[in-house]
């Protein structure tokens, strides 16, 4: 395994190189070292998070992907829907209340069920669960069906000096379409026209792997039909996004930012062409600059931020963090602004007053990561070695120890195995959407966590992967990797059929 060792320098080294990186990221001061650990704990954490070097047997606690919070329930279709095992009895109650709200179907205002109205007027889905079905991932529409768990984000780059400054001060991530706003809503309440419909065309491309196996990839192109309110701005780009699985979100939030930054430093030092960088974003509630971790472009700082954004953009429901009851309606959509909204002063200032957002956030933070299967299987271990040797683990970083001082003790000081560096990477032209989001360019994506990926078919009934679901299985997902991941992709394609199959078996055990 000398090949594997060669690219794995210890994480968290090179603090001196880190300083310019932090400065170059704007005025935020992301911490370069962990502040929650004593020197003795720090040494322990470094030791347990060191990359694997022995592939003859499983590592200690390797099966427990979500640390102590891992769910050991049967790996059936509900595998992503269990609460963290570390929740107190009282918090399990909160989790169940949050679950009901996550599945709640919102209705158009006015309605006799006043606490459930306020949907839209423009929207993509009526509940969180419609997209994150069984807390798993969505899929692109097949055949003529409308997209349910997938939508197009709309944005244009800065045009003026003032707009460029707003982006560099992190006050704007990019600029909405002047008519259609930040995302295309393909549904609307009765009496209002939906904005339009996403169209996908696939073109097939054949790729030949070592050993002669041929794989057909489908390259999508996106357009919008039935635009109801006039043309899109010529500078507006379309970024397709499929709903990702919901597991382990609170644990991702509990990873120390210094650990994530440390991987950017390590990648640079290794000089292998992998150069992840952190996304600095403004938390919508506090206005603070912080590390973005959620969403395909790491554009959201917290689970709460992501959830409030989903209430507003995906369902048109206002919350204390996003108080506009008209969601993504713009001034140019006068018919939308003329519709009723669901605010009932008696119930609060927003359609979903607290504690709704609190409970949904809590639920989203505590969906447990399922226990791994077959960690000791010789084929799985062989695939794990191939995963490291191909350079996958440089971005899909296996393990972390969460902060000791998290606000929520159920998530503190856990050894977790998300398989991501949570950094942005140039993934090449093939995956590019051409849409810059804050510090993420139109070719960059956040490394997707891989925990739970082997249960995709079990939970969601399909195996569509990547941000837009173009890959129909894991092999296709890997073959789409380009840019900084091109070397790893080529190493995978060059493996003999047995090693390649073992690598896939390893992914299926996650
Ligand atoms: C119309 C479909 C849709 C609905 C409805 C929806 N989501 Fe999502 N969700 C997505 C998509 C697509 C993404 C990826 C977003 C991106 O990258 O821009 C996402 C991302 C997320 C993430 C971050 C996942 C990650 O890996 O970073 C969380 C958390 C989340 N959604 C929670 C919610 C909650 C809570 C609700 C209900 C209030 C909700 N979602 C409603 C489609 C949806
Ligand atoms: C340069 C960093 C990088 C390297 C190296 C890399 N990946 Fe990825 N990987 C990513 C990013 C970023 C995404 C998200 C891309 C997207 O959705 O368009 C991703 C997505 C994936 C997915 C799909 C995840 C999902 O939920 O849809 C799989 C599977 C995957 N990678 C496996 C691998 C394997 C196996 C290797 C090694 C052969 C590898 N990756 C190497 C960055 C990397």
- Give distance in angstroms: CA of 308 to centre of ligand 1: 10
Domains of the chain: total:
1
User: By the 8 A CB rule, do 427 and 482 touch?
Assistant: yes
| Ligand 1 contact, 357 CB (< 6 A) | no
Task: Look up tokens 């001060």; give the residue.
Answer: 169
- Give me the mean pLDDT over the 439-463 stretch: 97
Residue 395 lies inside a defined structural domain of this protein:
yes
User: By the 8 A CB rule, do 438 and 299 touch?
Assistant: yes
Residue 113 lies inside a defined structural domain of this protein:
no
Higher pLDDT, 3 or 252: 252
**Spatial distance between the Cα atoms of 118 and 131, rounded to a whole number of angstroms:** 19
- Give distance in angstroms: CA of 29 to centre of ligand 1: 28
Would you state the pLDDT for residue 348? 86
Strands 444-446 and 122-123 come out as: unpaired
Residue 113: in which H helix or E strand, if any?
A: none
Residue 480 lies inside a defined structural domain of this protein:
yes
Residue 377 lies inside a defined structural domain of this protein:
yes
Dihedral in degrees, nearest 10, Cα atoms 349, 353, 357, 363: 180
pLDDT digits (tens, 9 = 90+) for 174-191: 999 999 999 999 999 999
- Give distance in angstroms: CA of 328 to centre of ligand 1: 15
Q: Whose CA is nearest to atom 2 of ligand 2?
A: 395
Would you state the pLDDT for residue 145? 67
User: By the 8 A CB rule, do 489 and 477 touch?
Assistant: no
pLDDT digits (tens, 9 = 90+) for 226-236: 999 999 999 99
Alpha helix positions (H), 212-333: 249-253, 257-270, 303-315
| Ligand 1 contact, 247 CB (< 6 A) | no
| Ligand 1 contact, 149 CB (< 6 A) | yes
**Ligand 2 pocket, Cβ-based, cut-off 6 angstroms:** 274, 387, 390-392, 394-396, 425, 427, 431, 445, 447-448, 453, 465-467, 474, 477-478, 481, 484-485, 488-489, 492, 507
Is the pTM higher than 0.85? The answer reads: yes
Lowest mean pLDDT across 12-21, 39-48, 193-202, 338-347: 12-21
- Give distance in angstroms: CA of 313 to centre of ligand 1: 10
Residue 237 lies inside a defined structural domain of this protein:
no
Residue 436 lies inside a defined structural domain of this protein:
yes
Would you state the pLDDT for residue 12? 36
pLDDT digits (tens, 9 = 90+) for 19-47: 434 434 443 468 889 999 999 999 999 99
Give me the domain span that covers residue 81. 2-88+246-280+366-508
Q: With 0-12 CB in 10 A as exposed, 13-18 as middle and 19+ as buried, what is 287?
A: exposed
Would you state the pLDDT for residue 132? 98
Q: Among 243, 294, 319, 438, which residue has the most ligand 1 atoms within 8 Å of its CB, making it the best to mutate?
A: 243
Residue 493 lies inside a defined structural domain of this protein:
yes
| Ligand 1 contact, 180 CB (< 6 A) | no
What sign does the CA torsion over 70, 71, 74, 80 have? negative
Find the angle CA(263)-CA(251)-CA(242) to the nearest 5 degrees. 85
Find the angle CA(498)-CA(499)-CA(504) to the nearest 5 degrees. 95
Residue 320 lies inside a defined structural domain of this protein:
no
């Amino acid at each position: 395994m000398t090949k594997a060792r060669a690219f794995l320098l210890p994480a968290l080294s090179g603090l001196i190189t880190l300083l310019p990186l932090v400065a170059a990221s704007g005025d935020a001061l992301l911490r370069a070292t962990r502040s929650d650990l004593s020197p003795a704990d720090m040494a322990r954490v470094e030791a347990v998070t060191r990359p694997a070097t022995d592939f003859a047997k499983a590592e200690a606690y390797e099966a427990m992907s979500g640390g102590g919070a891992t769910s050991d329930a049967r790996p059936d279709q509900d595998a992503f829907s269990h609460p963290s095992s570390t929740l107190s009895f009282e918090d399990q109650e909160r989790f169940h209340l949050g679950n009901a709200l996550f599945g709640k179907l919102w209705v158009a205002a006015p309605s006799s069920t006043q606490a459930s109205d306020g949907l839209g007027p423009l929207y993509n889905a009526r509940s969180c669960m419609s997209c994150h079905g069984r807390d798993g991932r969505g899929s692109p529409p097949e055949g003529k069906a409308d997209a349910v768990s997938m939508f197009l984000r709309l944005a244009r780059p800065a045009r003026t000096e003032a707009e460029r400054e707003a982006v560099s001060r992190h006050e704007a991530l990019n600029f909405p379409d002047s008519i259609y706003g930040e995302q295309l809503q393909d549904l609307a309440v009765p009496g209002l026209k939906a904005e339009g419909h996403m169209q996908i065309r696939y073109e097939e491309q054949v790729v030949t792997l070592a050993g002669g196996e041929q794989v057909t990839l489908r390259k999508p192109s996106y357009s919008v039909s039935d635009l109801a309110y006039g043309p899109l701005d010529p500078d507006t780009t379309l970024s397709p996004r499929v709903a990702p699985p919901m597991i382990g979100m609170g644990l991702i939030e509990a990873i120390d930012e210094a650990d994530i930054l440390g991987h950017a430093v390590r990648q640079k030092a290794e000089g292998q062409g992998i150069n992840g960088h952190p996304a600095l974003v403004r938390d919508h509630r506090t206005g603070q600059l912080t590390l973005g971790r959620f969403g395909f472009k790491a554009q959201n700082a917290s689970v709460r931020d992501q959830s409030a954004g989903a209430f507003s953009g995906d369902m048109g429901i206002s919350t204390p963090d996003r108080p506009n009851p008209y969601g993504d309606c713009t001034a140019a959509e006068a018919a939308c602004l003329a519709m009723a909204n669901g605010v009932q002063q008696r119930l609060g200032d927003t359609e979903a007053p607290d504690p709704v957002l609190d409970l949904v956030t809590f639920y989203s933070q505590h969906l447990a990561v399922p226990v791994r299967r077959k960690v000791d299987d010789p084929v799985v271990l062989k695939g794990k070695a191939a995963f490291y040797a191909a350079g996958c683990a440089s971005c899909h970083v296996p393990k972390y120890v969460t902060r000791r001082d998290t606000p929520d003790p159920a998530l503190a000081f856990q050894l977790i195995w998300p398989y991501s560096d949570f950094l942005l990477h140039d993934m090449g032209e093939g995956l590019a959407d051409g849409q810059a989001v804050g510090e993420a360019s139109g070719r960059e994506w956040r490394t997707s966590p891989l925990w739970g990926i082997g249960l995709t078919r079990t939970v969601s009934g399909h195996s569509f992967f990547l941000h837009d679901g173009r890959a129909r299985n894991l092999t296709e997902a890997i073959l789409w990797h380009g840019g900084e991941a091109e070397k790893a992709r080529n190493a995978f394609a060059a493996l003999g059929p047995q090693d390649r199959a073992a690598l896939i078996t390893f992914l299926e055990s996650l």
